[in-house]
Structure 1
């Protein structure tokens, strides 16, 4: 973890996803932070969607370009992680339109009322 860094909503943060099991994403990789800094600081946890450098042909993999590499936000791989233990470091801020789209897809995935997104 970078000293003083507390992840915030819309951050693209690098995290250690190991250990992983089965089809879970592993290794050090970027993730989109969905929870706000107040929650993250108070709980020591954050909820993220990992990013992959591969395009995935299914609806819950939203296309994204990070550092000129085409990939996807894996909306259906939501994770709650300890950001200090996972060595979170700030990379960049996500485009607000991408964050909005990810939130909409999370709501669809979890069958949440659309007015609550």
Structure 2
């Protein structure tokens, strides 16, 4: 529980959040930054982790980038190939917005492509 007596925020599928991506190595995205959550709240609450892909402010034309549409509170590009499980409470996850279904579907498709899932 928080000081206000409310339960802490638990991320849900499609949430755009701010959280700490460090520690990081090499070319991985790090530090506090936006991320797109790809796992449902039922999983995230059970295990205390969420699978999230970082969002970068600049696109580079990379094949696994997914642009966020205008009108959201977070601007930039989801890096589909840099997602990882993150302990959301310990990394101070904070809700910002919800991504459109088309963005979520595009990110999932890019992950499936680079993992050769289908």
Residue equivalent to 1:56: 60
Which consecutive aligned stretches of 4+ in structure 1 deviate over 3 angstroms post-superposition?
Answer: 65-69
Greater percentage in strand: 1
Q: For this pair of structures, how many residues does the alignment match?
A: 111
Output one character per residue of 1:8-41: Cα deviation in whole Å (capped at 9) or x when no partner. Answer: 0000010011221111111111100000001001
Are 1:107 and 2:112 counterparts? yes
| Larger CA deviation: 3-12 vs 60-69 | 60-69
Structure 2, unaligned runs of 5 or more: none
Structure 1, unaligned runs of 5 or more: none
| Distance (Å, rounded) in 2 between the aligned partners of 1:38 and 1:68 | 24
TM-score (norm 1): 0.87
**Is contact 1:56–1:72 with CA below 8 Å preserved after alignment?**
no
Are 1:19 and 2:23 counterparts? yes
Output one character per residue of 1:53-111: Cα deviation in whole Å (capped at 9) or x when no partner. Answer: 01122110112245374x21000101111111111010000011111111111111111
CA RMSD of superposed structures (Å): 1.6
